[in-house]
C-alpha cells in the first residue's frame, strides 16, 4: 500500500490557521523522480495534476496540499495498473511531508516570490505476477477461446483488459452477437505477490444475420446500397464481416458516412436485425487545380463532377485543362477536354466500367499533336489494396515531329495492376505502392508495326521519426508534441523513394508514334531539367523520345511545426532509343523544397538544379503545385 495518512491533521491545521491565509497564489515546481521504466515514468507524469496544472491553475496553500494528496491516489492507481501493489509514494513540499505539522504554517507564511519545490519519490516495490487465469460461465463447446495470458507474466491492467476484449470478439466472430464478458474479477494475494484473474463468460444465443433496415437514403437507390454491402439474411454474424461491408459502402464517393448497428435482441426468428444509417455526399462538386513550373509555365484545370448520376453512384466527370499558359506564345497554349462516366458494380460487385472520351491539342518541344481518344476500361477490385484493369482504347491523332504532320490511328488493349499499401494517399509516411501497365497496340494507320508499351512504377515510404515523435497535424487537428525528444518544432521525418521503368517491344522507337514514346525531365520526372528534355534528340535538336525509360527519386521530408515542412531530393533519369544502354547518359537533378500542409495535401514549392548541364538547360527550375511530388 502507498504510505498515506488521513488528511484530518491537515484539515484541522487549516481551520486553525484560516485567518492567516493570504489570497496570493503560490507558484511551484514539480519533479517526479524516475522509477527506471520510461513508459511508466511518462504515464506517471501525465497522470499528475500537480504537473498538468502548475502553470495554468495556480493555487493557494490548502489547495496545493489537496492537489498533492489527490496526486498520491492517482499515481497509486497507475502503479497498480502496472502490477506494483506495494508501492510507497512520498510527496514533499519544500522538503516537508504532507503530514508534517509545520507544513501549513510554512505555506501560509510564505510570501509570493520564488517557486515552491514539490518533489515526488516512488519506491515501486516488487512487481506482482499472474498466478492463475480462469474462464467461468457457460462456455460454448464449438468456440475455441483462450485468454491469451501467460502465467507468471506481470499482472498489468492493459493486457488483462485486452484479453477480456479478445474473448468477447472471439465469441461474436463465432456467431454469438449478444455475448458479454464483464470486467474480470482480480484477486490479489499480497503474501505470494500474485493475482488470480477470473473471466465470467456469457455467450448468449447463437444468431445469424436478419433483415437490414436502411434509413437516410435520398438519391441513392436501395438496391445499390444492398449490393455494396453484400450481406444476406441467414449468414453467420461476424463483426469483422459487418465492418468490411460498411467500408465497402463508404468507399463510394456518393456516401459520406454509414453506421451499421446490430439490434440489442434477436427477432422472432432468432436472427440479428441490422440498422444501417446512411449519409450521402452532395451530388455535384466543382474542382479547380493550378500549378506552375518555370519550364512548362502555368496550368489550370477545371473539373465538374456528378457523384450519383442515376442513383447508383454513377460518376460523371467533365474536365478541361490549359497548360503552358506562360511558357511561350498564345498559340503554344495546350488545351484538353475529357468526359468520363464510371459505372460501379456493372455485372457484379466490385467490377466497375469506365467510359472515357477525350480531345487534346498540344504544342510541345518534342512534337505537336491534335488527337481524339475513346476508351472503355473494366476494373476489378480484388481486395482493399489490389486493383486489376483491362480495356480497349482507340486514338486518332495528327502528330508533327521534325517534318510534315503524320496521321495515326491506333487500337490498344491496356492491362493494368495496382497494389497500394500506403497509409495515406495524400501524404504517405509508410508503405509501398506498385503499378504495372501493359498496352499491346496495333497501328491501323500511319505504320505497319504493332508494339507493346510496358511501364512499371514503384514508390516506397519509410518513417524515420523516433517512436515518441508524432505529427503536429493529422488531417487538420493539432496534436501535442511536448513529450517528443528534441526541439518541439521537429515532427515527422519521411524518406520517400520512386522507381519507374518503361520499355517498348516489337518495334523500333522511330516506328512508334512520337506521343507513345518515353520522355523524361520536368516536375513529375527529373526535376532540374526541362519537360521532356532528357534523352535522344532529333536532327533539329528537339526531344525525340525513346523506347526505354529509367527514372529514380529519393526525397527526405521533414515536418516543421504544425503546418510547414522542408524536403531535400535527388532525381535521376535516362531515355534510350535502342533499349537499355546502361547509365552513361544519366541525368541527375537535386534540389530543395518547401511544404505547407493542408487538409487536401501539401502545397509544394521546389527549386531544382541539373548536375549534368547541357547548352539549353537552365541552371535552376521552379515547380509549384499541390500534393507531394510522388
Longest dimension (CA), the chain: 107
Return the pLDDT at 584.
66
Residue 310: inside a domain = no
Query: Could you give the CA distance from residue 397 to residue 336 in angstroms, rounded to a whole number?
Result: 13
Which DSSP letter does residue 618 get?
-
Query: Could you give the CA distance from residue 520 to residue 53 in angstroms, rounded to a whole number?
Result: 58
Same domain, yes or no, for 519 and 622? Answer: yes
Range from 233-247, 423-437, 458-472, 534-548 carrying the lowest mean pLDDT: 458-472
Residue 572 in this model has a pLDDT that exceeds 90: yes
Using only C-alpha atoms, the chain has a radius of gyration, in whole angstroms, of 34
Distances 127 to 71, 79, 192, 195, 577 between C-alpha atoms, Å: 21, 10, 11, 11, 71
**CATH of residue 177:** 3.10.20.310
Residue 446 in this model has a pLDDT that exceeds 90: no
Contact residues for 520 (Cβ-Cβ < 8 A; gap 6+)? 526, 529, 532, 534, 535, 549, 551, 573, 574, 575, 587
Same domain, yes or no, for 26 and 175? Answer: no
Contact residues for 19 (Cβ-Cβ < 8 A; gap 6+)? none
Residue 560 near residue 489, CB atoms below 8 Å? yes
Contact residues for 606 (Cβ-Cβ < 8 A; gap 6+)? 523, 527, 567, 569, 591, 592, 593, 622, 623, 624, 629
* Boundary (domain end) residue, out of 280, 304, 319: 280
Return the pLDDT at 327.
57
Listed residue (340, 333, 337) closest to 299, CA to CA: 333
Same domain, yes or no, for 149 and 69? Answer: no
Same domain, yes or no, for 109 and 217? Answer: no
Query: Could you give the CA distance from residue 170 to residue 179 in angstroms, rounded to a whole number?
Result: 10
* Boundary (domain end) residue, out of 91, 123, 155: 123
Residue 506 near residue 443, CB atoms below 8 Å? no
The pairing of strands 116-123 and 28-32 is parallel
Residue 372: inside a domain = no
pTM of the model: 0.74
Query: Considering its fold, how many domains does the chain have in total?
Result: 4
| Stretch 393-414: mean pLDDT | 94
Same domain, yes or no, for 162 and 236? Answer: no
Q: Concatenate the DSSP letters of all residues of 447-510 into one string.
A: -S--EEEEEEEEEEEEE-S-TT---SEETTEE---TTSSS-TTEEEEEEEEEEEEEEEESS-GG
Residue 466: inside a domain = yes
Residue written as cell 455535384? Answer: 284
Return the pLDDT at 333.
85
Same domain, yes or no, for 453 and 590? Answer: yes
Residue 193 near residue 208, CB atoms below 8 Å? no
| Stretch 579-607: mean pLDDT | 87
Residue 617 in this model has a pLDDT that exceeds 50: yes
Same domain, yes or no, for 471 and 614? Answer: yes
| Stretch 146-172: mean pLDDT | 91
Same domain, yes or no, for 463 and 494? Answer: yes
Return the pLDDT at 40.
93
Listed residue (510, 370, 364) closest to 443, CA to CA: 510
Return the pLDDT at 618.
82
- Please, what is the Cα angle at 289 between 283 and 294, to 5 degrees? 170
Query: Could you give the CA distance from residue 276 to residue 599 in angstroms, rounded to a whole number?
Result: 29
Q: Considering Cα of 77, then 82, then 86, then 91, what sign does the dihedral take?
A: negative
Residue 418: inside a domain = no
Mean pLDDT of the chain: 87
Residue 523, SS3 per DSSP: coil
Q: Write out the three cell numbers for 621.
A: 527550375
Listed residue (184, 153, 154) closest to 168, CA to CA: 184
The pairing of strands 386-400 and 601-610 is unpaired
| Stretch 438-466: mean pLDDT | 92
Q: How many CB atoms lie within 10 A of CB 502?
A: 21
Residue 5 in this model has a pLDDT that exceeds 50: no
Query: Could you give the CA distance from residue 144 to residue 396 in angstroms, rounded to a whole number?
Result: 63
Residue 2: inside a domain = no
pLDDT digits (tens, 9 = 90+) for 7-48: 333 434 443 444 344 445 788 889 999 998 999 999 999 999
Same domain, yes or no, for 569 and 597? Answer: yes
Same domain, yes or no, for 445 and 549? Answer: yes
Range from 330-344, 373-387, 467-481, 563-577 carrying the lowest mean pLDDT: 467-481
Residue 163: inside a domain = yes
Query: Could you give the CA distance from residue 315 to residue 354 in angstroms, rounded to a whole number?
Result: 9
Residue 79, SS3 per DSSP: helix
Return the pLDDT at 482.
36
Residue 526: inside a domain = yes
Same domain, yes or no, for 471 and 510? Answer: yes
Return the pLDDT at 469.
57
Query: Could you give the CA distance from residue 509 to residue 443 in angstroms, rounded to a whole number?
Result: 14
H-run or E-run covering 51: helix 49-52
Same domain, yes or no, for 119 and 135? Answer: no
Residue written as cell 455485372? Answer: 347
Return the pLDDT at 397.
95
Range from 112-116, 184-188, 601-605 carrying the lowest mean pLDDT: 112-116
Residue 405: inside a domain = no
Residue written as cell 489494396? Answer: 385
Residue 481 in this model has a pLDDT that exceeds 60: no
Residue 361 near residue 332, CB atoms below 8 Å? no
Residue written as cell 507524469? Answer: 45
Query: Could you give the CA distance from residue 51 to residue 41 in angstroms, rounded to a whole number?
Result: 13
Query: Could you give the CA distance from residue 277 to residue 404 in angstroms, rounded to a whole number?
Result: 62
Residue 357, SS3 per DSSP: strand
Kindly indicate the confidence band of residue 62, based on its pLDDT and cuts at 50, 70 and 90.
Answer: confident
Q: How many CB atoms lie within 10 A of CB 329?
A: 8
Q: Write out the three cell numbers for 497.
A: 523513394
* Boundary (domain end) residue, out of 138, 167, 201: 201
Residue 474 in this model has a pLDDT that exceeds 70: no
Return the pLDDT at 109.
78
Could you tell me the residue range of the domain that residue 176 belongs to?
A: 129-201
Range from 138-147, 239-248, 253-262 carrying the lowest mean pLDDT: 138-147
Query: Could you give the CA distance from residue 295 to residue 621 in angstroms, rounded to a whole number?
Result: 7
Residue 270 in this model has a pLDDT that exceeds 60: yes
The pairing of strands 194-201 and 185-189 is antiparallel
Give the rounded percent of residues in the chain with a pLDDT score beyond 70. 89
Give the rounded percent of residues in the chain with a pLDDT score beyond 90. 64
Return the pLDDT at 23.
45
Kindly indicate the confidence band of residue 418, based on its pLDDT and cuts at 50, 70 and 90.
Answer: very high
pLDDT digits (tens, 9 = 90+) for 273-301: 999 999 999 999 999 988 888 888 888 99
Contact residues for 12 (Cβ-Cβ < 8 A; gap 6+)? none
Amino acid at each position: 500500500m502507498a504510505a498515506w495518512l488521513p488528511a484530518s491533521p491537515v484539515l484541522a491545521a487549516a481551520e486553525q490557521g484560516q485567518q492567516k491565509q493570504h489570497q496570493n497564489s503560490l507558484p511551484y515546481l514539480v519533479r517526479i523522480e524516475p522509477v527506471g521504466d520510461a513508459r511508466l515514468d511518462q504515464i506517471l507524469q501525465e497522470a499528475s495534476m500537480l504537473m498538468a496544472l502548475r502553470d495554468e491553475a495556480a493555487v493557494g496553500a490548502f489547495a496545493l496540499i489537496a492537489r498533492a494528496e489527490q496526486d498520491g491516489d492517482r499515481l497509486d492507481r497507475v502503479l497498480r495498473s502496472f502490477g506494483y501493489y506495494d508501492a510507497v509514494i512520498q510527496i514533499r513540499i519544500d522538503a516537508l511531508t504532507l503530514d508534517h505539522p509545520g507544513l501549513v504554517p510554512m505555506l501560509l507564511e510564505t510570501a509570493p516570490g520564488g517557486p515552491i519545490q514539490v518533489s515526488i519519490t516512488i519506491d515501486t516495490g516488487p512487481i506482482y505476477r499472474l498466478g492463475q487465469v480462469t474462464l467461468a460461465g457457460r462456455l460454448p463447446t464449438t468456440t475455441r477461446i483462450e485468454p491469451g495470458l501467460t502465467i507468471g507474466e506481470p499482472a498489468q491492467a492493459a493486457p488483462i483488459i485486452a484479453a477480456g476484449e479478445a474473448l468477447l470478439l472471439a465469441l461474436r466472430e463465432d456467431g454469438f452477437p449478444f455475448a458479454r464478458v464483464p470486467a474480470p474479477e482480480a484477486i490479489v494475494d499480497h503474501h505470494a505477490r500474485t493475482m488470480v484473474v477470473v473471466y465470467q463468460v456469457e455467450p448468449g444465443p447463437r444468431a445469424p444475420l436478419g433483415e437490414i433496415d436502411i434509413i437516410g437514403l435520398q438519391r441513392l437507390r436501395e438496391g445499390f446500397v444492398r449490393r455494396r454491402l453484400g450481406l444476406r439474411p441467414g449468414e453467420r454474424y461476424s463483426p469483422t464481416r459487418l465492418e468490411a461491408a460498411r467500408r465497402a459502402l463508404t468507399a463510394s464517393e456518393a456516401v459520406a458516412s454509414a453506421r451499421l448497428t446490430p439490434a440489442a435482441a434477436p427477432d422472432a426468428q432468432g436472427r440479428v436485425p441490422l440498422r444501417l444509417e446512411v449519409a450521402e455526399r452532395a451530388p455535384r462538386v466543382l474542382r479547380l487545380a493550378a500549378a506552375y513550373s518555370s519550364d512548362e509555365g502555368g496550368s489550370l484545370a477545371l473539373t465538374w463532377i456528378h457523384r450519383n448520376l442515376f442513383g447508383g453512384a454513377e460518376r460523371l466527370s467533365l474536365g478541361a485543362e490549359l497548360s503552358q499558359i506562360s511558357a511561350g506564345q498564345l498559340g503554344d497554349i495546350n488545351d484538353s477536354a475529357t468526359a468520363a462516366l464510371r459505372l460501379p458494380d456493372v455485372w457484379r460487385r466490385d467490377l466497375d466500367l469506365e467510359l472515357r472520351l477525350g480531345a487534346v491539342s498540344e504544342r510541345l518541344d518534342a512534337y505537336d499533336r491534335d488527337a481524339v481518344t475513346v476508351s472503355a476500361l473494366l476494373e476489378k477490385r480484388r481486395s482493399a489494396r489490389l486493383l486489376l484493369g483491362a480495356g480497349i482504347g482507340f486514338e486518332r491523332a495528327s502528330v508533327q515531329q521534325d517534318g510534315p504532320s503524320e496521321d495515326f490511328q491506333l487500337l490498344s488493349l491496356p492491362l493494368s495492376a495496382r497494389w497500394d499499401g500506403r497509409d495515406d494517399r495524400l501524404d504517405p509516411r509508410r508503405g509501398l505502392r506498385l503499378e504495372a501497365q501493359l498496352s499491346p497496340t496495333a497501328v491501323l494507320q500511319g505504320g505497319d508495326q504493332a508494339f507493346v508499351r510496358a511501364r512499371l512504377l514503384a514508390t516506397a515510404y519509410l518513417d524515420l521519426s523516433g517512436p515518441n515523435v508524432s505529427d503536429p497535424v493529422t488531417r487538420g487537428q493539432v496534436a501535442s508534441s511536448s513529450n517528443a525528444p528534441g526541439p518541439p518544432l521537429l515532427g515527422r521525418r519521411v524518406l520517400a523513394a520512386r522507381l519507374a521503368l518503361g520499355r517498348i517491344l516489337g518495334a523500333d522507337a522511330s516506328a512508334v508514334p512520337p506521343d507513345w514514346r518515353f520522355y523524361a525531365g520536368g516536375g513529375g520526372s527529373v526535376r532540374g531539367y526541362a519537360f521532356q528534355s532528357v534523352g535522344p534528340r532529333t536532327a533539329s535538336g528537339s526531344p525525340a523520345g525513346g523506347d526505354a525509360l529509367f527514372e529514380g527519386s529519393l526525397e527526405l521530408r521533414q515536418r516543421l511545426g504544425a503546418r510547414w515542412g522542408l524536403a531535400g531530393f535527388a532525381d535521376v533519369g535516362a531515355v534510350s532509343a535502342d533499349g537499355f544502354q546502361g547509365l552513361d547518359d544519366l541525368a541527375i537533378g537535386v534540389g530543395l523544397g518547401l511544404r505547407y500542409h493542408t487538409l487536401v495535401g501539401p502545397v509544394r514549392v521546389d527549386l531544382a538544379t541539373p548536375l549534368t548541364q547541357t547548352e539549353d538547360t537552365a541552371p535552376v527550375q521552379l515547380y509549384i503545385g499541390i500534393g507531394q511530388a510522388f
